[in-house]
Every structure is written in structure tokens, then in C-alpha cells.
Amino acid sequence: MKIVVGLGNPGAEYENTRHNTGRIMVGLIEKKLEGVKIKFITPDNFMNNSGKAVAPLIKTKKDLKDLVIIYDDIDLPLGKMKISFNRSSGGHNGLGSVIKALKSEEFLRIRIGISPSIPSGKIKKPKGEKAVIKFILGEYKKSELETLKKLSKKVALAVETIFTESKDKAMSLYN
């Protein structure tokens, strides 16, 4: 079974926060990929325990090839995405929880940018742990949610390409 998991936190207070970008994106692309045999999951546990929700879905190492995790990335500008495979968590606690629970990094992830950028494309990331936490738990502005909505078309095409053709093709087309 093909599985797409959107990482985030449950509850209304987190609904439109940057840290919920994975959940938001899954909600947007699920509508675009109706009819495609993919199971879309938004775990009901908190980000740092995401692995507990993902691990029961993956029975064998072979199942890893049919898993895509979508999550927020503070190192990418808002409106950009990056597909990666077999990489570390990069300090993302939700992804770290998934890697630990699966005992593997051999699965695809789609990182969704959440940082503002200046016209040159350089991102403006908050400095210091408290500022980062405040930023990622902060709510998106309406215009930022519109940017995510536009990006969802590209993300949906990437997911479809991953599952109908290959991860390599998706990475060459959408990275």
C-alpha cells in the first residue's frame, strides 16, 4: 500500500501553524489525488512522537519504498519543496521520531519550506531556539496559506510521479 504521511500536531490550536505544514499539505493534495490508490495519514499524536503512528503501517523494509513523509522545513523558503531520500532528520524532531521508530532512513520525504525570504531568494530564519519555536508554532498569514495552496499542485504531481514512475524521476522533475 502506498502511504503519504503529513507530520504535524493535532488540535485546533495548531491547525494553521507552520509546524503543521505536513498535515496542511496532505489535506490539500488528498483532494487533488482522489482516485489514486494512496492512503493519506495525518497522525493524531504530537510531532515529536510521529514515529509511533508511522511504524505500525510499515511491516517490512520493502514497505519503505511506498512511504512518503511530508513535513515543514525551516531551511527552505516558503513556496519551495525538496524531495529527499535516505537522509538524516536534519534536526527535525518529528522526522527523527519516524527514523527511530522505523530503524531506517530509507524512505522518501518531501520537505516544504516555511521561512520567509527576501527578493534575492535568501531566507530570513529566526535566530535562537526560543525564536525558532515561536516561529514554527506561529500561525500562517492568509497570503502564506495561499502560497501553500499553489505549491500543493506541484507536490501532488511529485507524489503521483513517485508512485507511478519513480522517486528518481520525481526528484529530477521537481527538485
Residue 120 grid coordinates: 534575492
The catalytic site residues sit at 19
The total number of structural domains in the chain stands at 1
Sheet holding 108-115, edge to edge: 38-41, 2-6, 67-77, 108-115, 81-85
What is the span of the domain harbouring residue 81?
2-174
Q: 58-116, pLDDT tens digit by residue? A: 999 899 999 999 999 999 999 999 999 999 999 899 999 999 999 999 999 999 999 99
- In whole angstroms, what separates CA 173 from the centre of its chain? 18
Write the CATH number for 141. 3.40.50.1470
Per-residue pLDDT for 121 more than 80?
no
Counting residues of the chain whose pLDDT is more than 70, the rounded percentage is: 100
Q: 43-66, pLDDT tens digit by residue? A: 999 999 999 999 999 999 899 999
Total-model pTM: 0.95
DSSP state letter for 140: P
